[in-house]
Structure 1
C-alpha cells in the first residue's frame, strides 16, 4: 500500500483539517501554509497578508480506501468555492480556495472536477478555486494542529467549523471513520 498526499485551501485551515480527520483512509492531516513567497512563514505574517501564503491542510491518505476524486468532492462541498479570498466572515488572500496538486494526474482530476461542478449549476456563482502545482508546505504552529477536536466548545468551532463537520456527516456518512 502506498499513501498519497493532497493539499487543500478552503478558508481557515481549522475547518478543512477538522473535516479531513473524520474520513476513512486518511492517515495524517497537518494544518499549515502554502502558495506564498517566503520559507517557513509565521502565522502572524500570513494572516496579515504579507507572505502570499494560503492557510491549507495537507493530508496523507490511502487511495485504496478513499480516492483523490472523493477528497475533491468533499472539498468542494464543505466550503464555498465561489467566494474570492474569503470564507464567510474570514477575509483575506490567506483564506482563498485552492487545490495544490502533487502530480499531473491530480492536476487533471482537479481541473476536470472543477469544470464539471462549475457547469453543473450546483453553485449560483462561478467557482474561483485556484489550481496550481504544489511547491512547498510549511506546518503551522502546534496550537493550530487538530484545533477543532481540542477546542470544540469555542464559539468559532461551534458556529463556523461544526456546521461543516455536520454537512460532511450528512452528505458523506459512508466515508466517515
Structure 2
C-alpha cells in the first residue's frame, strides 16, 4: 500500500471501529478517498451552481459536503485560537471522490477528477488566501522540503489565515530546530 493509499484508507475509518480493523491493512477491503476543502464567504450564484452541477455530472464520482458556519462561531474572534475560519465564512466545503479499485492508474485518475472539481470551484470560494481546512491535508496547496518559513507560508496561510505568523513565532519558541515536523507543519519564524 502506498503512503497516499494509507492516508486515504485511514481517513475513511468511522469512529468506534474495532482495533483489529484498524490494524488490518488489506488493500482489497479499503475505500480510497483524495479530500480537498474550501470556504465560502458569499453564496454561489444560481448560474454558478448550475455550472458546478454540470461539472460534477461530467466528472462522475465527486461529492460535495457543505458544512454551515455562523452562529456562535461568529462570536469568537478569528485570532482567539489557531482556527481562523469563523466570522464571515458561510460554509466549509468538503469535496471528495471515493473509489475501491487499488492501483496507481486508479489513484491518478481519481486524483485528477478531484483536482478538476477543485478548479471548478475557484471562482466561488475564498481568495487571498484561498482558505483550506487543516484536517483535510492537501499536498496540492504546498509542502515544505526544507522546513523554511517561506515554504510554510504557502500552505500555512491557507490553513490558518492571519494566525499563521503568530503560530510560526510560537513554533520558534518551543521547537526552534523544527524537530517535530511533517510536510505541512508550521515552521519556526526565526528572529532575523
Which structure ranks higher in relative contact order (CA pairs < 8 Å, sequence separation ≥ 6)?
1
Do both share a fold (TM > 0.5)? no
TM-score (normalizing by structure 2): 0.29
Q: Which has the larger Rg?
A: 2
Structure 1 or 2: larger strand share? 1
TM-score (normalizing by structure 1): 0.31
